[in-house]
Amino acid sequence: MRLKLPRRSVIVNIHGIGTPARDLDPGEDVAWVSVSQFEMVLDAAIGRDDVRLTFDDGNASDVEIALPRLLARALRAEFFPAAGLLGEPGRLDKDGVRELHRAGMTIGSHGWAHRDWRHLTPDLAHEEFIEAPRFLADIVREPVTRASIPFGSYDRHVLRRLRDARADRAYTSDGGRTREDSWLQARNSLRSNLDAEWIRRVMLSPPSLPRRARQVAARTVKRVRG
């Protein structure tokens, strides 16, 4: 009898594409990719049901650049805007969020103001974990139950707050593959130095055993620290 292993998918996380329409935060430019880099990733995702795509931060490029290219390839994705930043220059506004949702994309929460969730007062935690998904749910008229963690920064307190807020999936930036039924979903963030070799290594080939062991060890540390 063959043992059926749980499916492990690759989640690719995208931040901004093309020329930013706003001043970026210090160090944020390394998370931006060109349109052609982005298209290379999309083309590698075609026909791959073990590859999933997510978008963090709610940049205007989500609607202006990503959406038409996803639709042209019949690809779906999940978008995680920061609710409190909607409508700011270079960001999605409420109509943009509705447009993504109407086009069949899933909307999740990236919190309210893109704060580090490891360092929050109780008031700010309420805004980040409770008010942000509610605000987005009002826009799309549907419950928003998934969350992606800003800066991939978490510890056991962050995870407890997400569970208390009834998030049914929590997305990190830990890298590697992830089991589709896992509550904590590891993702691979695109970087400005993205090339065909990255796509081959991360999206196409199964990770080597030593690399997987290192990834699992790093995640365990984050999950229990506090």
Total residues at interface with Zn ion (CB under 5 A): 3
- Cβ proximity of 110 and 84 under 8 Å: no
Closest to Zn ion by CB, 84 or 150? 150
What minimum distance in Å lies between the beta carbon of 196 and Zn ion?
Answer: 26
Measured from the CB of residue 123, what is the shortest distance to Zn ion in angstroms?
Answer: 21
84 binds Zn ion (CB under 5 A): no
Q: How far from 38 is each of 53, 75, 155, CA to CA, in Å?
A: 11, 13, 31
58 binds Zn ion (CB under 5 A): no
Structure tokens at 197: 């070799």
**Within 21-50, which residues bind Zn ion (CB under 5 A)?**
none
- Which residue number, 91 or 219, has a Cβ lying nearer to Zn ion? 91
Comparison of 27 and 210: residue with beta carbon closer to Zn ion = 27
Among 18, 32, 52, 57, binds Zn ion (CB under 5 A): 57
The verdict on 127 binding Zn ion (CB under 5 A) reads no
Regarding 150 and contact with Zn ion (CB under 5 A), the answer is: yes
Q: Does 56 bind Zn ion (CB under 5 A)?
A: yes
Q: Which residues bind Zn ion (CB under 5 A)?
A: 56-57, 150
